[in-house]
């Protein structure tokens, strides 16, 4: 997470985009057949929440789409993708 935070902040500061298009994939989840990053559902939630907060703080519009998450267990897939919406709800509720 620290690497993501450092790198993304640097990129956004350097390039000052007018829009962020975020493909919020969950193939990074630890129990995903193709994922190798071994993130927990909580890690994914924190990632989403942080990225949404960063975009809001920097006043950059953000478009989020669910992506990735190639698994046969539909409940696992929905659990991962729903973290984006939980994070957005918390971020934009304030």
2-31 pLDDT per residue, tens: 888 999 999 999 999 999 999 998 888 888
Residue 94 is predicted with a pLDDT of: 67
The yes-or-no verdict on residue 41 having pLDDT over 80 is: yes
Q: What is the mean pLDDT of residues 41-66?
A: 95
Tell me the residue range of the domain where 83 lies: 2-92
Predicted TM-score (pTM) of this structure: 0.87
Q: What is the mean pLDDT of residues 59-70?
A: 91
The yes-or-no verdict on residue 34 having pLDDT over 80 is: no
- Of residues 67, 65, 24, the one with CA closest to residue 47: 24
Domain total of the chain: 1
Give how far Cα 82 sits from Cα of 6, 10, 11, 77, Å. 25, 28, 27, 9
């Amino acid at each position: 997470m620290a690497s993501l935070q450092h790198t993304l902040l640097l990129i956004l500061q350097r390039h000052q985009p007018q829009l962020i298009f975020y493909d919020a994939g969950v193939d990074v989840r630890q129990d995903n057949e193709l994922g190798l990053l071994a993130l927990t559902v909580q890690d994914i939630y924190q990632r989403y929440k942080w990225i949404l907060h960063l975009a809001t703080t920097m006043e950059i519009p953000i478009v989020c789409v669910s992506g990735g998450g190639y698994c046969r267990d539909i409940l696992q897939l929905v659990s991962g993708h729903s973290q984006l919406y939980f994070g957005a709800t918390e971020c934009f509720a304030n």
